Structure 1
Amino acid sequence: MRKLSYFIGMSLDGFIAGPDDEVQFLMDHLSPAYLEYLKTEWPETLATAGRRHFGCDDAENTHYDTVLMGRATYGLGLKDGMVDPYAHLKTYVFSRSLAESPHPAVELVAGDPVAKVRELKRQDGLGIWLCGGGNLAGQLAEEIDELVIKTYPVLAGDGIRVVSGEFGPRPYELTGSRSFDNGAVVSKYARKR
């Protein structure tokens, strides 16, 4: 069965974006060594335009072949004209407000996210990447098998939490961690069942 991984960047205080969907404050902490790590270890998590820019557009998907995101996360790229931000992955956008997909390769899901993820887990393929946002992560909390958290050395104070939803502790086990010269730390956790 395929795994659902929440691979996400966040501030030290647990925010994935600012109150108005700002993410640049996280991107300000990229460095050549850190970008090289993402290019070689997690190439499918770079947007298609980023893959071209960094010269890794021919890289094979190593972890994921499917990406899930909420409407707000999808909207970040959409406002810059990226109608299919991850053309190298099968893309699902969970939204009750979008009536029609801006791109034929992007499938809109208006129904129950949990039911859709369970359906996807039963299919053959690589892992499933939940790339945002916090609301969708909260709805899918029971289905998240793995966390890959890129923690950046900045406090946000307010914004969109990494997971939004009702209180419900879910234990994870640290399976790996790597720190970088830019102060970022990438930590990987497996769900304890």
Structure 2
Amino acid sequence: MRKVVLYIAASLDGYIASPDGSVDWLPPLLPGEDYGYADFLSTIDTTLQGRTTYEQVLTFGEWSYPELINYVFTSNPPTEAVHPSVRFVTTDAAEFVRELRQEEGGTIWLIGGGKLVAPLLAAGQVDELMLFVVPRLLGNGIPLWHEPKHSQPLKLLRTHTWPDGMTLLHYQLTNIE
């Protein structure tokens, strides 16, 4: 069974984006440092993202993940995708991911956002959480956690802190199914 990993950055007060959806508050990378992104990216072949996250990624310029299969969950898909690797999903996210996990392939990256994360967590469809805590308080914005419906035990796998204060919290989730 394929593994689903939520790999995401959030401010210390739990926001993944500014109120307008931008992520321009994220600090620049340290010289020569990618916080393990390249290593993580080498393990995945599929992304999952909500429509708002997809639209934010589009503002970064050229499509960021052309070599991956990219599923965008939306109730109102656009008439055409920005790249052939993008596929729009209008069915139940938890059921779709449950079936996707049974297919052959690499790790599945749950990019976000919070509205997609919540039902997948509740359905036990997330195996690991790699949360990069950014040493910044936004005070307002788009929250990572949208109305969690249950308590979820976590097992700490590792932590890492960089000189700029960025901290990785890597957990394994104990699924409820």
Shared fold (TM-score, shorter chain, > 0.5): yes
Which residue matches 1:11? Answer: 11
Supply the AA of the counterpart residue of 2:70.
Answer: T
Instruction: Give unpaired runs (5+ residues) of structure 1.
Output: 45-60
Deviation string 1:76-115 (CA, Å, 9 cap, x unpaired) is 1223444x42112111001112232233220000110011
Structure-1 separation of matches of 2:156 and 2:76: 37
1:34–1:180 CA contact under 8 A, matched in 2: no
Deviation string 1:167-191 (CA, Å, 9 cap, x unpaired) is 3111111101111011101121001
Structure-2 separation of matches of 1:182 and 1:81: 27
Does residue 122 of the first structure (1) align with residue 102 of the second (2)?
Answer: yes
- The residue matched to 2:33 in structure 1 has which SS? helix
- The residue matched to 1:164 in structure 2 has which SS? coil
Supply the AA of the counterpart residue of 2:54.
Answer: Y
Which residue matches 2:33? Answer: 34
Following superposition, the deviation at residue 143 of structure 1 comes to: 1.1
Structure-2 separation of matches of 1:34 and 1:80: 20
2:47–2:109 CA contact under 8 A, matched in 1: yes
- The residue matched to 1:131 in structure 2 has which SS? strand
Compute the TM-score of the two structures, normalised by the length of structure 2. Answer: 0.90
Aligned residues: 172
Deviation string 1:1-24 (CA, Å, 9 cap, x unpaired) is 111110000111111111110211
Cα RMSD (Å): 1.6
Compute the TM-score of the two structures, normalised by the length of structure 1. Answer: 0.83
- The residue matched to 2:25 in structure 1 has which SS? helix
Please identify which structure carries the higher helix content: 1
- Cα pair distance change 1:128/1:91, threshold 3 Å: same
Following superposition, the deviation at residue 73 of structure 1 comes to: 0.5
